[in-house]
Amino acid sequence: MRSYGLGVLDMAKDFSRKLYSSKAWKDCRKEVLRRDLYTCAYCYGRASEVHHVIELTPENINDISIALNPDNLISVCHDCHAKITLGGGDIREGYVFDDNGNVVPAHTPPLQGHGVCAKKPDAAHL
Ligand SMILES: [Zn+2]
């Protein structure tokens, strides 16, 4: 609550700057783009960016199972990314198109079982 001088928006972006300049992120981004054949998940145009399905926050930015998990990343073109980020598109943050073109909540697939995700839930309580 100290650095008010920069303004809230600057702060919001500032927390992710370190991630986006890291090699780990660049590798991950490249991997996701390649996985998706550089195809935008929304308009099937040429993707040049990747989008975090579960939005990054200052709380989860250090959680590699969110920030650097290919399962939480989709390839998007610049236009669609801007729409998603601004919430102005016809698909909302947290939702994705499935294989049939239906809008489904992006949180459905569990974020586990992937290489970078070291966390495992404790044994289920019955
Ligand atoms: Zn697009």
Confidence at residue 6, expressed as pLDDT on a 0 to 100 scale: 44
CA distance 70 to 52: 9
pLDDT tens, position by position, 51-81: 999 999 999 999 999 999 999 999 999 999 9
Residue showing tokens 């700057």: 17
How is residue 123 written in tokens? 């044994």
123 Cα to the center of ligand 1, angstroms: 40
Confidence at residue 118, expressed as pLDDT on a 0 to 100 scale: 41
Confidence at residue 85, expressed as pLDDT on a 0 to 100 scale: 81
60 Cα to the center of ligand 1, angstroms: 26
97 Cα to the center of ligand 1, angstroms: 12
Q: What is the pTM of this model?
A: 0.60
24 Cα to the center of ligand 1, angstroms: 24
74 Cα to the center of ligand 1, angstroms: 11
59 Cα to the center of ligand 1, angstroms: 28
Confidence at residue 11, expressed as pLDDT on a 0 to 100 scale: 52
